[in-house]
Each structure stands twice: as C-alpha cells, then as structure tokens.
Amino acid sequence: MSKLPVVSARECVKALEQIGFEVSRQTGSHINMRRDDPYCKVVVPNHSEIKKGTLRSIIRDAGLTVDKFIELVRG
C-alpha cells in the first residue's frame, strides 16, 4: 500500500470527476459529489490541504484503493 499524498480539495475533486463523480452542490466548506452508476455519494471538505484520515475515508467511500487514487491525482 502506498503512502497517502497531500492533496487539496481541488485536486481531490478533479480526481473523483475522472471516475464519474459530479459536484451536486456545495454547502459552506463542503463539496457534495455523487455518481449515478453505481450510486455513491462523497463529501469533500473545501480546504487547501485535506487531512490524512479524511482523505482515506473519501477514498474508501468512493470505492477506490490508495494506489488508484494516486494514479488519478497524478493524472
């Protein structure tokens, strides 16, 4: 398992958009994203640096592995 990268909310949103997620709405500092097939919802905090535990939870909720997420971020 690879080490989690340090990413911003913008980088995380871009990575999730690559696998079919769309921004459904934003409430305060939280970006709500959803994917229809298969259905999944993820909330990304709009911070300049997402904490490691929060990022790991986002990756798990999106059904990804850390390695796959790193591939998406590096593009």
**pLDDT tens string 3-17:** 999 999 999 999 999
Q: How many other CB atoms are there within 10 angstroms of residue 71's CB atom?
A: 14
Q: How many other CB atoms are there within 10 angstroms of residue 15's CB atom?
A: 25
- What is the pTM assigned to this prediction? 0.93
**Residue 75 scores a pLDDT above 80:** no
Which pLDDT belongs to residue 1?
66
Report how far apart the first and last C-alpha atoms of the chain are (Å, whole number).
Answer: 19
Confirm if 19 and 64 have CB atoms less than 8 A apart.
yes
